[in-house]
Amino acid sequence: MSRLARTLFFIVVMLAGGYSAFSADDRPPVVVVEVEGVINPVSAEFLDKALARAAGERAEAVVVMLDTPGGLDTSMRRMVKAIIGSPVPVITFVAPSGARAASAGVFIVMASPVAAMAPGTNIGAAHPVMMDGQKLESDMAEKVVNDSAAYIRSLAEKRGRNADWAEESVRKSVSVSESVALDKKVVDLVANDLTDLLNKLDGRKVATAFGEKVLKTKGAVVERFEMGARLKALKAISDPNVAYILMMLGILGLFFELSNPGLILPGVVGGISLILAFYALQTLPVNYAGLLLILLAVVLFIAEIKVVSHGLLAVGGVVSLLLGSLLLFESPFPYMRVSLYVILPMTLTLAGFFAILIRVALKARRAPVTTGKEGLIGEPGEARTDLSPEGDVFCQGALWSAYSDEPIAKGEKVVVVGIEGLKLKVVRKAKRVNP
């Protein structure tokens, strides 16, 4: 082969390689979204933003890596609508190993054009319950269950999955592993990880809101869509433990501001904390009896400062605070309740704070009067004139008219033992007696 031929050959190879690399890099990406934890308004907004981003980039697909114990029905339905209406195919992947799609998560899996699970995961237990764990009346319970069963059956039938099992997961709370779910046609495939999933999806025909599409996911560029700072903050606030701490800080801040008007900072911090706590309370099973007990505890602590109860009101406040904290969030689900490891330190801290505050208030109450006329009793002074029996004395930075039962020479040290109108009664300092 001549030198010219070899040169042309290498140029063709390089151009072909460059074209291939360009084509690979220019392929639409696969957007990966991790939805974990309780399904709530933050989860729904996060998925909305991810699907909008994927549609704007004309992404090949969106993979929702799901791990949830369940959550709010309203947020779940919002996510289901977003998945069904997405122009980009949505693949819900229950992963990684150890993850689950329970309760509201089952509906999200059923709504997805492609449903997949990783080894060591499970799906099911979609029976509707109230967040506070209370039982519905029989008629209302039947309506709620029938509505949920019909809803999940329609989703399963739309995607060609096992509608009978889907309905049983609502009516009987059945739950299955990934292998059983695949055998029963609850999900479409089982994949070891994200790479394995993309390889198995390649060439698969899926239905979207704008028609069918053949997936080209093998070797696709993976683009992870992360939750922004605002949504991360809102998600953290929605945690029952954080909501409880914010509420306690809010109560303390407002208490400081009302006790000492003009400090400003405690009022601002307390107000912001309460507003954030109220945001979280809308997604949590609040027991208003617990909330009232916490407020009663604050009232009892304040009353202890004003009323001499020998500590009985303070003890009642501690008990009320502890009971209110335990009852604040009632739910059969641990992730919807405040941890005891948060309640006990917070209760002891608040109780200790109010105990110190009460002690200071009582000490101030029992202290001798140091202002007004009574504050002059026992104060030292100096005779500025002879007192025989009347004259002038200098006391507490002022010149007073004074008298004494015995003659006192100018310049002698005296002590105030009584007051009559604006005239002080004094004695020599060495001969101080009780008035």
The DSSP-derived string for 298-325 is HHHHHHHHHS--TTHHHHHHHHHHHHHH
How far is 364 from 428, CA to CA, in rounded Å? Answer: 30
DSSP 8-state class, residue 55 = H
In terms of DSSP bridges, do strands 30-36 and 122-124 run parallel, antiparallel, or are they unpaired?
Answer: unpaired
The three-state DSSP-derived secondary structure of 258-284 is: HHCCCCCHHHHHHHHHHHHHHHHHCCC
Residue 79: name the closest of 117, 123, 49 by CA.
49
Q: Do residues 270 and 260 touch, judged by C-beta distance below 8 A?
A: no
Question: Which two structure tokens, joined as six digits, stand for 262?
Answer: 């003009």
Q: Is the peptide bond before 380 cis (omega within 30 degrees of 0)?
A: no
The CA distances from residue 165 to 71, 113, 170, 181, 190, in Å, are 21, 18, 9, 9, 18
DSSP 8-state class, residue 296 = H
- For 233, what's the count of Cα atoms within 13 Å in the CB-facing half-sphere? 7
Instruction: Enumerate the active-site residues.
Output: 103, 143
Residue 97: name the closest of 194, 203, 24 by CA.
194
Question: Which two structure tokens, joined as six digits, stand for 274?
Answer: 């309460």
